Amino acid sequence: MANILAVDDSSSMRQMVTFTLKGAGHQVVEAADGQEALNKARAQKFDLIITDVNMPVMDGITFIRHLRGEANYKFTPMLMLTTESSSDKKAEGKAAGATGWIVKPFNPDQLLNTVNKVLG
């Protein structure tokens, strides 16, 4: 089972993601913005990062760009939570080093499918 960092400024989304992933036996650590996530990712190693894009303090793409640059996270899968309409964001996120994305709105099953996919 994997150690996952879930980043979202919306606490209901965080709750939902955490609940779903924990239900599947994963360990989950939450962060409410990119900066907090970065600090937590530096404090311990995660197997998977799931992050929202639009957040205060530090947005998800900046967070991914920073984290991807760190030796510990060179190959770690990092997924963005993004809405259908923002195809620019997908490209921007990819350029910053994101592995892929989960399109919002998503349901718990879709989330788990994607997570299982990247964790192999």
Partner 1 sequence: MSIDLEQFHETFFEESFEGLDIMESGLLELEQGDVDLENINTIFRSAHSIKGGSGTFGFTAVAEFTHDMETLLDQMRNGERKVSADVVDTLLGCVDVLRNMLHAIKDKSEIDTVNVAEMTQALKDILGADSAAANSSAAETQAGLAVKGWQVSFKPYEDIMKTGNDTVRLLRELCSLSDSYEVFVDSEALPPLAEVDAEACYLSWRINLLGGEVSENDILDVFAWVDDECDLKIETLAEDELYVGPERRDDERREPARDDRRKVDRRTSSAKGKESSSIRVNISKVDELINMVGELVITQSMLSQFGEDEKFNESHIERLKDGLAQLESHTRELQESVMRIRMMPISFAFQRFPRLVHDLSAQFGKKIELVMTGESTELDKTVLEKIGDPLVHLVRNSLDHGIEAPDVRVDAGKSETGVIELRAYHQGGNIVIEIKDDGAGLNKEKILDKARQNGVISQDDRLSDEQIYDLIFRPGFSTADVVSDVSGRGVGMDVVRRNIRELGGTVEVDSKPGEGSVFTIRLPLTLAILDGQLVGIGEETYILPVISIIESLQVKTENINAVAGNAEVYRLRDEYIPIVRLYHIFGIEPASKELDEGLLVVVEAEGKKIAIFVDDLLGQQQVVIKSLETNFKKVQGLSGATILGDGTVALIIDIAGLIELYQKDMAGVVVQIKGGGLAA
Residues making contact with partner 1 (CB under 8 A): 9-13, 15-16, 19-20, 23-24, 52, 54-56, 68, 74-78, 81, 83-85, 91, 94, 97-101, 104-110, 112, 117-118, 120
CB of residue 12 vs partner 1: minimum separation in angstroms? 4
CB of residue 107 vs partner 1: minimum separation in angstroms? 6
List beta partners, residue 82.
103
Contact call for residues 29 and 70 (beta carbons, < 8 A): no
CB of residue 16 vs partner 1: minimum separation in angstroms? 5
Q: Which is nearer to partner 1, 9 or 41 (CB)?
A: 9
CB of residue 1 vs partner 1: minimum separation in angstroms? 15
Q: Which is nearer to partner 1, 10 or 35 (CB)?
A: 10
